[in-house]
């Protein structure tokens, strides 16, 4: 073992601090050094990735000097994500420990992870993913006929292109198998909780943008009204929960968004304050891993839950989203140093186990 870890970052982007790094990167590097390991940051640009000689140089250097890498690149900060992922994929093939493997980032982080888990207790059975416009347009009028829905685009974040969709006339629910295109609907976007009255056909035309192009897809899941009690995010380091964020959407109207910009309030709790949820979630990890492609669990990741009520009237939690390609732990700031040390410990454990 070389006892050396590379942290990949992109140059530039709003996630960087004064030193040009993500604020939580150097604390992790320093945590590894404090444990007697070496760690370095390799900063990438589109220009380097496009230039095959420079790209090979980066690849070979990391291959020959590191035991593993930690990917800290926000999607959107590199246009050449495909080339970046190719480098990571080759490093994993060469035996480096990928934290995470690029295909794990896609498998866990894409919105259609939900549909891959639809046959488990984590996600309702009637959760669908649309990869082509024809299927979307024939299926969505049927799913909406049964009840209120949330449509989620795959790209983008912070609630953009995440739409709560309901019928303007609630009496129309369950009145037919498939709604006509001129049905009046109310659409609320999670970005800012604004609502618009639209017609179903016209709104589905508008949603075509989310399906076309690279990684385009729409996930269609039931609207969970208990979102008003909050969304519960578990921050995970590999298989250990670190803290739980309770995110309560703004009050009133159609507000359903737990994103910060939409006015949600955040509270940070200990995992033990959410013992039932945490224990249940940890018991699901083997299943989550196998359904999402059998890649190792990500190093730093989050799972978001919304409360629901089962047929017996008992609380149950529904998984709403997993994030894993760019999760940071910069807030609350007072936790950052402690978490960085925990990440360092996890990295040493993971790499030592894989390289043993």
Which residues of this protein are in contact with ligand ATP, per CB under 6 A? 150, 152, 157-159, 162, 190, 221, 223-224, 227, 231, 249, 256-259, 304, 306, 320-321, 323
For the CB of residue 18, give the shortest distance to ligand ATP in the complex, in Å. 25
Residues 60-79 that bind Mg ion (CB under 5 A): none
Nearer Cβ to ligand ATP (55/166) = 166
Choose from ligand ATP, Mg ion, none: what does 104 bind? Cβ within 5-8 Å by kind: none
Nearer Cβ to Mg ion (220/321) = 321
Nearer Cβ to ligand ATP (43/325) = 325
For the CB of residue 255, give the shortest distance to ligand ATP in the complex, in Å. 9
C-beta of residue 238 within 8 angstroms of C-beta of residue 108? no
Residue 97's contacts (CB-CB under 8 Å, 6 or more residues apart) are 67, 68, 69, 350, 351, 354, 355
For residue 116, which of 317, 299, 294, 324 has the smallest C-alpha distance? 294
For the CB of residue 165, give the shortest distance to Mg ion in the complex, in Å. 17
Terminal CA-CA length for the chain: 9
For residue 196, how far is the Cα from the chain centroid?
A: 27
Nearer Cβ to ligand ATP (205/308) = 308
For residue 193, which of 227, 225, 159 has the smallest C-alpha distance? 159
For the CB of residue 321, give the shortest distance to Mg ion in the complex, in Å. 5
Q: Quick one: tokens of 159?
A: 């609630």
Nearer Cβ to ligand ATP (43/127) = 127
Q: What is the DSSP string of 258-274?
A: -SGGGT-EEEEE-GGGG
Q: Which single residue brings its beta carbon nearest to Mg ion?
A: 321
Residues in contact with Mg ion by CB under 5 A are: 321
């Amino acid at each position: 073992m070389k006892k050396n870890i590379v942290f990949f970052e992109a140059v530039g982007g709003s996630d960087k601090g004064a030193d040009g790094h993500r604020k939580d990167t150097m604390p992790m590097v320093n945590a590894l050094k404090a444990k007697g390991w070496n760690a370095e940051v390799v900063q990438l640009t589109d220009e380097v990735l496009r230039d095959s000689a420079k790209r090979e140089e980066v690849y070979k250097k990391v291959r020959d000097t590191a035991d593993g890498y930690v990917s800290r690149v926000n999607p959107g900060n590199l246009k050449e994500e495909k080339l970046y992922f190719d480098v990571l994929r080759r490093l994993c093939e060469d035996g480096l420990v990928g934290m995470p493997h690029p295909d794990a980032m896609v498998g866990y982080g894409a919105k259609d992870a939900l549909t891959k888990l639809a046959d488990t207790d984590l996600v309702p059975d009637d959760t669908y993913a649309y990869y082509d416009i024809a299927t979307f347009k024939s299926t969505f009028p049927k799913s909406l006929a049964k009840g209120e829905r949330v449509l989620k685009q795959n790209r983008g974040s912070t609630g953009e292109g995440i739409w709560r969709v309901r019928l303007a006339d609630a009496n129309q629910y369950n009145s037919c198998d498939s709604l006509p295109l001129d049905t009046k609907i109310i659409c609320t976007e999670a970005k800012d909780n604004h609502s618009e009255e639209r017609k179903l056909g016209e709104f589905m035309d508008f949603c075509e943008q989310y399906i076309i192009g690279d990684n385009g897809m729409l996930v269609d899941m039931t609207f969970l009204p208990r979102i008003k009690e909050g969304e519960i995010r578990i921050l995970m380091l590999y298989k250990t929960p670190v803290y739980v964020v309770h995110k309560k959407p703004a009050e009133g109207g159609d507000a359903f968004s737990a994103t910060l910009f939409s006015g949600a309030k955040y509270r940070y709790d200990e995992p033990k304050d959410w013992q039932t949820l945490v224990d249940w979630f940890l018991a699901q990890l083997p299943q989550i891993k196998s359904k999402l492609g059998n890649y190792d669990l990500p190093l730093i990741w989050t799972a978001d839950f919304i409360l629901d009520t089962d047929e017996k009237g008992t609380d149950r939690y529904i998984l709403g989203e997993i994030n894993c390609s760019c999760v940071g732990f910069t807030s609350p700031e007072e936790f950052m140093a402690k978490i960085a040390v925990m990440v360092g410990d996890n990295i040493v454990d993971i790499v030592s186990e894989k390289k043993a």
